[in-house]
A and B are shown apart, each in its own frame.
Chain A
C-alpha cells in the first residue's frame, strides 16, 4: 500500500495536487470560527453557489483560466452580500437565498443549453463535488492557487487581532476607533477568495463543510481563539492529506473523501470534548 502511494508521488501532478490541497485546507480552516460566529456561514453557502454560477459561465464561454472570471464575481458578491446582510437581517437573508438559488439555477441552465461537452452531467457533477479536478490542475492554476493561499495566510496573520476583535464584539471595536467596515470588507474578500480556492479542492457544494467542520471540531475541545484557530488549521491539513491519500489509494472522489474525513474528525472531537468534561 505504501509502495502504491510512493509510486503515485513520483508523478509531479500528484505532488502538485497535494501541495495545493494542503494550502487550500489550511486557508479554508482559518476563517471558520469567524464565519460560524458572525453568522456568516450562510454567506459562505450563498457564495459557493455564486461561484458555481460563475464557473458555469466560464465554462460556457470556454475560458482557459476560469478563475479570472470566478474570482472577481465571487469577491464582488461577497462584498454586496455583506452590505445587505448588515443593514437589515431578514432582508439580507432573503437576498442571499435568492442570489444563491438563482445562480445555481442559471449556472445549470447555461451549462445545459450551451455546453459543447458530451458528458454534461459529468461536468456539472465535477463542478459541484470537485471530483478529480484537483489532479488535473494545470501548472498556472497551481501557481495561482499557491499565490492566493499565501496572500490569504499573510492577510489573516497580519489582521489576526483585528479579526478577533471585530468577531468578538463589533460595537466595542467600532466605539473605540477600529475601522469595523474596513475589516468586515477584508473578511468578506478573504472568504470569497477561500471559497474560490476551495472549489478546486472539494467542489462548490462541499465548501461549507471544508470551511466550517475544522472550526466546529476545534471549538469542541479548545477554549481560546488562538488555540481554536491553530488546532483547526492543523486538523484541516491533516484531514485533507488523509482524504487525498485515501482517494488516491481507493480511487474515491477527492472532495467527498476529504469532507468525510473532516466529519469523522468532528465526531472524534465531540467525544474527546465530552471526555474532557466540556460540551
Chain B
C-alpha cells in the first residue's frame, strides 16, 4: 500500500460560503499521476488552490499525509497576475522557485542555481534567460513558469492547464517531461482539457461535474461519464 499524500473527504469547496464543488472525496498516493478534467467553471482551479492552502475549504477535510511539506510542492498557476511593468528576468523568476529550499539563507547556493539552470534548459528557454518576462510571448511565459514550478517540486507537482499556449512540439515535450518526472517518483496532479492526453498518461482521473467521478484510468474509460466525455471530444 502506497502512502497517501493528499486525502480529501466530503469536502465542499468554494469562495466565501458560495459552494462550487460539493461532496468531493478522493486520495492521491505517492507516485500517482492524477488528471483533473471537467467543464469550464466546474471548479478545477478552485480545487487545486484549496489543495495548496490558498483557499480554505467551506467544509469537509483536506489533509496532507506522508510527511509532505509545502516546501516540497511545485505549482503552476492557470493565470499569474503579474503586473504589466514588473521588471524581472527569466533567470530571476525561475530561480525564485528554489526559494522555499533556501530557508532563511539570504542567497541562493550553487546547487539551487544549478537546479534553475537545468530546468531552464529542460524547457528550451536558455537563450531567453536574460530577457524580461513581460517581453515574452504567452507560450514562452508559460515555459518560464513551468521551469519555476519544476524548481520547487521535490515530491509533488500541481499543474493547472500546463500545455495552454504551448505549440505542438512543446506540448509533446511537456507531456514527455511530466512523464519522466512522474517515473522518477514525483506525484503529479494536472488539470487538463486535453482528454486524449489525460487518458494516455494519467494513472487516475478526477472528473468534476454535478456527479463527481474518481478512480483509475481504466475505471474511467468504462464509466458512463468517461464514455460520454471521450465521445464528445472525439466527435469534435
Q: Which residues of A contact B (CB under 8 A)?
A: 33, 36-37, 157-162, 164-165, 167-169, 171-178, 218-219, 222-228
* CB <8 Å contact, A172 and B77: yes
The secondary structure that dominates the B interface is: mixed
A177, closest chain B residue (CB): B70
Hey, which chain B residues are within 8 Å of A223, CB to CB? 87, 89, 131-132, 135
Min C-beta distance of A234 to chain B, whole Å: 15
Hey, which chain A residues are within 8 Å of B135, CB to CB? 223
Min C-beta distance of A161 to chain B, whole Å: 6
Q: Known contacts being A175-B70, A176-B71, A224-B87, is A168 close to B54, with CB within 8 Å?
A: no
* CB <8 Å contact, A176 and B82: no
Residue in A33, A36, A37, A172 whose CB lies within 8 Å of B75: A172
Q: Known contacts being A169-B82, A225-B92, is A176 close to B53, with CB within 8 Å?
A: no
Q: Tell me if B231 counts as interface (CB < 8 A to partner A).
A: no
* CB <8 Å contact, A225 and B89: yes
A33, closest chain B residue (CB): B87
Min C-beta distance of B226 to chain A, whole Å: 30
Hey, which chain B residues are within 8 Å of A157, CB to CB? 106
The A-B contact count (CB < 8 A) is 93
* CB <8 Å contact, A178 and B85: no
* CB <8 Å contact, B92 and A160: no
Hey, which chain B residues are within 8 Å of A227, CB to CB? 87
* CB <8 Å contact, A219 and B75: no
Hey, which chain A residues are within 8 Å of B130, CB to CB? 224
Task: Give the distance in Å from the alpha carbon of A228 to the alpha carbon of B87 in the complex.
Answer: 7
Residue in B86, B89, B131, B132 whose CB lies within 8 Å of A37: B86
Instruction: Report the count of interface residues on B (CB-CB < 8 A).
Output: 38
Hey, which chain A residues are within 8 Å of B106, CB to CB? 157-161
Task: Give the distance in Å from the alpha carbon of A173 to the alpha carbon of B106 in the complex.
Answer: 16
A39, closest chain B residue (CB): B83
Residue in A161, A171, A224, A225 whose CB lies within 8 Å of B99: A161
Closest 4 CB pairs of A and B: A177-B70, A223-B132, A177-B71, A224-B89
Known interface pairs A172-B96, A218-B87; 15 further A-B residue pairs with C-beta atoms within 8 A, sorted by A's residue number: A37-B83, A37-B85, A159-B106, A161-B106, A165-B99, A169-B82, A174-B52, A175-B73, A177-B72, A177-B73, A177-B100, A219-B85, A224-B88, A224-B92, A226-B92
Min C-beta distance of B5 to chain A, whole Å: 15
* CB <8 Å contact, B152 and A176: yes
Q: Give the interface centre of A162, A178, A223 by most chain B CB atoms within 10 Å.
A: A223
* CB <8 Å contact, B132 and A224: yes
Hey, which chain A residues are within 8 Å of B100, CB to CB? 176-178
Hey, which chain B residues are within 8 Å of A159, CB to CB? 106
Min C-beta distance of A58 to chain B, whole Å: 35
* CB <8 Å contact, B96 and A168: yes
Hey, which chain B residues are within 8 Å of A224, CB to CB? 87-89, 91-92, 130, 132
* CB <8 Å contact, A164 and B92: yes
Min C-beta distance of A187 to chain B, whole Å: 15
* CB <8 Å contact, B54 and A174: yes
Residue in A172, A178, A225 whose CB lies within 8 Å of B87: A225
Min C-beta distance of A190 to chain B, whole Å: 15
Hey, which chain B residues are within 8 Å of A173, CB to CB? 96, 99
- Of the A-B pairs whose beta carbons lie under 8 Å apart in the complex, a sample of 7, sorted by A's number, is A161-B102, A162-B99, A165-B96, A169-B80, A172-B148, A173-B96, A174-B54
* CB <8 Å contact, A175 and B52: yes
Of residues 88 through 110 on chain B, the ones whose CB sits less than 8 Å from some CB of chain A are 88-89, 91-93, 96-97, 99-100, 102, 106-108
Hey, which chain B residues are within 8 Å of A33, CB to CB? 87
* CB <8 Å contact, A176 and B132: no
Hey, which chain A residues are within 8 Å of B91, CB to CB? 224
